[in-house]
Amino acid sequence: MAAFVSCQKFWNELVRLFGTLGPLWLVLYLGTSVYAVFYRYCFLVLLQVPEQGLFDTPVAAYPGAAYAIFAVHGFLKLNWFGSWVMGLVITFFCDRDYEPPIKAQVIMQGGRGFRPETTSRWEPNRRPRTCPRCDRKCADRVYHDNTTHRCLPIFDHFCPWVQISVYSRTMKAYLYLLLFLPLDILSTLTVLVMALCSYTSQGITPFVVSGSFALIALAVGVSLWGPRQWWHLAFNNEVHFEHRGKPRAPQLLAFKDTQGGRHVMRLKDFRGNPWDKGYMGNLRQVLGSSWWMWLIFWWQPERVAKYGRYEPGIDLPYSDKVWEMRHEVLRQRLDAAEFWSGLATTPVARRMHSRSAEQSSSTHEEGRSEPRRRMNRTS
């Protein structure tokens, strides 16, 4: 048993060390695959001009195949490498002093110190959430990144394999990296197999090296749990802090309301994902509102720019079930007001009101007649 635990610790440490070198593997894979596929195979083999006679026009061997490989591999490499570089730049050079908006909204996510089915005071610059790490006021879906020591909107995790903090600004780039990197690896391996089958043994070493790095990069891609990340982040619009735990913990929501002429927050537990807009709605939230935005990896979705400024006073779009809950909260208050106003018109309430009026009037008359009796006695 002790030997098994030791082997497991050694394996975990080896995986961690391999993961920290993830950027190095990606760079090496990019360089060797470009050299082997673009130069050694497409340029020197497919575009090689065979020897012709004195009067023959020199023509490349397979120009169509070469141009197709250039186009497909160029598109895949541009998307995953560009997404990765974009994620790195944003992680280490953007939002270094990010401050979440603290303006109170119509619907807000609650946190520690607040309990469901209670009422609290609503203030213009008060949020019912604070960060458990740094005690800052937090807006909706703002969570703490322990690696970069920041509170970031829609933060999921810091990925050490690619050195990217996955949050609202980098989420699209991160997902595109997980999508296009495995596709590029598979296409590279396909071209390598074609090259090894049609190429002579001379110059085969670059393909073997490139294939080795392709397999390493494929192992890294599998370890990133790409399909799982796409399922949670893109299709379900939920981050790790929101879906962890079995069973899933409810989300505490604060609804703005009025009571006695002043604004209050009514806190309710919501079962499920408050920001779930359906599969297509969630994809539009993460990738862009229009389909053509999905084709451009650097085009940020709408929620990045409009965070904290959605109408009619929310940080991010809520699901229809949340708005139904808000309408139920308002309806309960209106029903209570109608109940008390209707109760005042009943015969019993009118008799009680007339009795109290008679008692108050008699008390008032006694108070006025008492000084007169004293004056008569004196005279």
Co-location of 33 and 178 in the same domain = yes
Structure confidence at residue 320 (pLDDT): 94
Structure confidence at residue 296 (pLDDT): 93
Residue at 240 is within a domain: no
Token digits of residue 62: 């397979």
Structure confidence at residue 340 (pLDDT): 45
Structure confidence at residue 283 (pLDDT): 96
Structure confidence at residue 10 (pLDDT): 74
Contact assessment for residue 266 and residue 257, using Cβ atoms and an 8 Å cutoff: yes
Co-location of 292 and 164 in the same domain = no
Co-location of 173 and 274 in the same domain = no
Co-location of 168 and 91 in the same domain = yes
Residue at 201 is within a domain: yes
Residue at 308 is within a domain: yes
Co-location of 95 and 165 in the same domain = yes
Would you list the DSSP string of 186-203?
Answer: HHHHHHHHHHHHHS-STT
What is the span of the domain harbouring residue 74? 2-50+60-99+152-224
Contact assessment for residue 129 and residue 109, using Cβ atoms and an 8 Å cutoff: yes
Structure confidence at residue 73 (pLDDT): 94
Using alpha carbons, select from 69, 87, 71 the residue that is nearest to residue 26: 87
Contact assessment for residue 61 and residue 47, using Cβ atoms and an 8 Å cutoff: yes
Coil, helix or strand at residue 328: helix
Co-location of 134 and 172 in the same domain = no
Structure confidence at residue 139 (pLDDT): 92
Co-location of 337 and 281 in the same domain = yes
Residue at 364 is within a domain: no
- Chain centroid to Cα 111, Å, comes to 18
Co-location of 219 and 189 in the same domain = yes
User: Can you list the residues of the chain whose pLDDT is less than 70?
Assistant: 1, 4-5, 11-12, 15, 18-19, 49-61, 198-224, 334-379
Co-location of 70 and 171 in the same domain = yes
CA 37 to CA 189: how far, in whole Å? Answer: 10
Residue at 8 is within a domain: yes
Provide the domain count of the chain: 2
Residue at 71 is within a domain: yes
Co-location of 184 and 93 in the same domain = yes
Co-location of 127 and 21 in the same domain = no
Structure confidence at residue 375 (pLDDT): 47
Residue at 368 is within a domain: no
* Element holding 8 (H helix, E strand): helix 2-20
Structure confidence at residue 53 (pLDDT): 52
CA 304 to CA 154: how far, in whole Å? Answer: 10
Last residue of a domain, one of 224, 254, 270: 224
Co-location of 324 and 180 in the same domain = no
pTM of the model: 0.81
Residue at 347 is within a domain: no
Q: Is 106 exposed, middle or buried (0-12, 13-18, 19+ CB in 10 A)?
A: middle
Structure confidence at residue 333 (pLDDT): 73
